[in-house]
Amino acid sequence: MSSEYTVTETLDVKGESCPMPVVKTKGAIDGLSEGDVLEVLATDSGSMSDIAGWAETTDGVELLDQEDGGDVFSHYVRKTE
């Protein structure tokens, strides 16, 4: 995780498979305020491309970082509007 942002909330979607990490990420982001950062923890390796693609095509969110921890994939998404 970068020191350039502070995690506001963590969403644990470990054990969930496509499309649930993205569906639950969208739901969690909708409940945050502008500028908040959501940390998403997933075990589905497909979440790396799925969440990146969702963030790229969704207004109001910015993908800050992704980390491949081997067993757990971490995603950091900021709500921008």
DSSP string, the chain: --TTS---EEEE-TT--TTHHHHHHHHHHHTSPTT-EEEEEE--TTHHHHHHHHHHHSTTEEEEEEEE-SS-EEEEEEE--
- Name the active-site residue from 18, 35, 45, 56: 18
Q: Answer yes or no: 18 catalytic.
A: yes
Give me the active site residues, please: 18
